[in-house]
Structure 1
Amino acid sequence: MPPVGLGAAILFAGALACGLVANAEETADFHKPEAVTKIAFGSCFDPRDKVDTAFDGVLAQKPDVFVFLGDNIYGDTADMDVLRKKYAELEAVDGFRKVRETSTLLATWDDHDYGINDGGKSYSKRKESQQIFLDFFKDPADSPRRKREGVYASYTFGPVGKRCQILLLDTRYFRDEIPRSKEKRKPRTVGWYRPVDDPSLTLLGETQWAWLERQLKVPADVRIIASSIQVLAVEKGMENWGNVPHEQRRLFELLRKHRADHTVAISGDVHFAELSKTQIGSYPFYDMTSSGLSHTNRGWASADNSLRVGKSHFQRNAGLVEIDWEGKKLELAAVGEDGQKLFSHSVPFLELRFP
């Protein structure tokens, strides 16, 4: 697969060099005809940390696709000039530019690049921030993300039989404010959130939910759901899908309804790497978490997660999903700065099937 530059990575006639074209016959937002086997991902990168080795592990793996899951910069501002300057700092990072030049770069956001810590729909500059985000990641004027609120998007790669769908979710633009718990923090937790019992609170918003259900009808042989925050791990008190359990159940029910076989989640945010697993009926659903690219937290890595598979790892890392089309299996892994795997977990396609 030839290298794909950032400006070409996501669109249309003006980007024929990358071949990623919105096709009227596809219901995904974008399609690229070449099959992919390596999807790397990461989050939590602060250019101010000047960690020159942050992207070395990604580059060593030579991925077809790299997904930036959010906290791609640390903006945390309502001043859009400041936000643009923070993105310019990322642009100046040599490793980032190399990743952009040698793989298809996809991106969603989390709170710090959205503009405000733990922020949601009440952030006053969300529309302006979206435009700066899309400008930086070079979405053309006719990109679907230019025509709707939020930065969610869907991508398919490869022919039928080797088709991978990547669904980038937006957990910020429509998110209701989740109240912080007033209870004393429990041991082995690091945050202040607890599951809420108010079913009116939303994480994705109805427009994005409707889009997601349509996307689950798109034929795909492997699906990757990319969420900026963890989908499964709920005990550490940080932001996660479990804080709005009715939204988490809604996701599970959609996957079951549409028999979304061979589907896994990837996530970031927590400044360490871990793999989580739950059962949706008899379906084993995995969430592979990777962060951070520039800074991590040893203490947070020791927080409780009863769904964790194996151990957590606090070294700087990136995530990796490898698709073995011939062997019909997925490998979920975290990769260190030296390009070596900190851990990996193999799952046969046969196990990832809804009854």
Structure 2
Amino acid sequence: MPFRLTAVVLIGYCFALGTDASLAVDDQPLERIAFGSCAKQDEPQPIWKTIVETEPDLFLFIGDNIYGDSEDMNVLRKKWNQLGAIDGYRRLKEVCPILATWDDHDYGVNDGGAEYPRKKESQKVFLEFFEEPADSPRWNREGVYGAKLFGPEGKRVQVILLDTRYHRSQLVKRIWRPEPGEGDKGPYGPNEDPAATMLGDEQWKWLEEQLKVPAQVRIIASSIQVIPDGHHWEKWGNLPRERQRLFSLIEKTGAEGVIFISGDRHSAEISAVDPGVGYELIDVTSSSLNRPSKWHSELNPHRLGTKYTDENFGMITIDWQEEDPVVRCQVRSIEGEVVLQHRVRLSQLQPPVGD
């Protein structure tokens, strides 16, 4: 597997230069990007065998990679080490690079944000586990956000890993009296405070620069859902001004090829909407790797098709051989079967010429 071994070395090389996405890690374009979220470290994780068998070029771990939920860093380290000792995960590390961001449970507190008192220490534990090179800019940031480029000019994939925890403002509670089957569940309402933030000033500035980097496909990993509406659990819609800021930034920078991937919900779905950026934005939610919720009635007016509630992982495949490359956004079962899919041409992920 010469490409995968070379990619690992060059990822470290790019980080050593102190860059995020100014260098491509390899001339070989990415064709198969797997991803997933929500993995309980002390429960069986047979899905890794299936993921390895799909031969991904890259795996993105996008949150709740463990269930740490502690202010004690020794507890967090122990739980990260439990994940690291799992045979299937160790095998995945051997066959492809792994990039990661976090969500609340591996951050340290359920539904936590900027108020978590041990976030700096937790970031150190996170970066140590994922063997971040010593010269990586992620060591010097407030938050674990980062980006990477893969592939040659014309077939370039950019991976942007957002941190939706370190700077996120407090959530607003709503009056909630759950009814079975109501389809409108959860404790949070919209926070309309103009000062409320999802990413923090520095990450917003960084993201704007990343969206200007030339790339044909731009995978933006958000631990929480970006597009879905209807439920009242964690999502970008809890900070509606910030979600609109994200959409407006995509439009302002003319960023093409944007596909969101998200986790958190312990079920999977694919959502799509055109919020005025010039093309349809897709959000592929894959959750959970080993902690599925067997029943979900959440509403989502942007959902394409149905939800999938068994163990699953996500996959984005890109057929660069086509004149207009085909991008397939997929959710796959624990057996590796495609259970949800949305297929688009690369030309459909570009704003109109002249806009």
TM-score of Structure 1 vs Structure 2, range by shorter chain: over 0.9
Task: Return the letter of the residue paired with 2:293.
Answer: N
Contact 2:150 2:157 in 1 (8 A): yes
Distance 1:279 1:11 in 2: 36
Q: How does 1:135-214 map to 2 (within 5 A)?
A: 135-185=128-178, 187-214=182-209
Distance 1:251 1:10 in 2: 27
Task: Return the letter of the residue paired with 2:48.
Answer: F
- Structure 2 regions of 5+ residues with no counterpart? none
Distance 2:24 2:132 in 1: 15
Measured against aligned partners, the alpha-carbon deviations of 1:170-218 in whole angstroms (never above 9, x if no partner) come to 0000111112212434721332112222121101001000000000111
Contact 2:15 2:136 in 1 (8 A): no
1:275 aligns with 2:273: no
- 1:342 CA drift (Å): 1.2
- Structure 1 regions of 5+ residues with no counterpart? 13-19
1:331 aligns with 2:324: no
1:252 aligns with 2:253: no
Query: Cα 1:122–1:163, aligned 2, differ >3 Å: closer, same or farther?
Result: same
Select 1:133's aligned residue among 103, 120, 126: 126
Contact 1:21 1:32 in 2 (8 A): no
Task: Return the letter of the residue paired with 1:338.
Answer: E
1:2 aligns with 2:3: yes
Measured against aligned partners, the alpha-carbon deviations of 1:308-352 in whole angstroms (never above 9, x if no partner) come to 001110110000011111221210001111111112111011221
Task: Return the letter of the residue paired with 1:196.
Answer: N
- The runs of at least 4 aligned residues of structure 1 exceeding 6 Å deviation read none
Match in the other structure for 1:242: 237
Match in the other structure for 2:295: 299
Structure 1 range deviating more: 39-48 or 273-282: 273-282
Match in the other structure for 1:83: 76
Distance 1:262 1:162 in 2: 11
RMSD: 1.9
- 1:59 CA drift (Å): 1.2
Contact 2:15 2:135 in 1 (8 A): no
Contact 2:173 2:189 in 1 (8 A): yes
Contact 1:317 1:335 in 2 (8 A): yes
Contact 1:21 1:30 in 2 (8 A): no
Task: Return the letter of the residue paired with 1:324.
Answer: D
TM-score (norm 2): 0.93
- 1:130 CA drift (Å): 0.2
Distance 2:109 2:5 in 1: 31
Match in the other structure for 1:286: 282
Q: Give the 3-state SS of the residue equivalent to 2:207 in structure 1.
A: helix
The count of corresponding residues between Structure 1 and Structure 2 is 345
Task: Return the letter of the residue paired with 1:76.
Answer: D
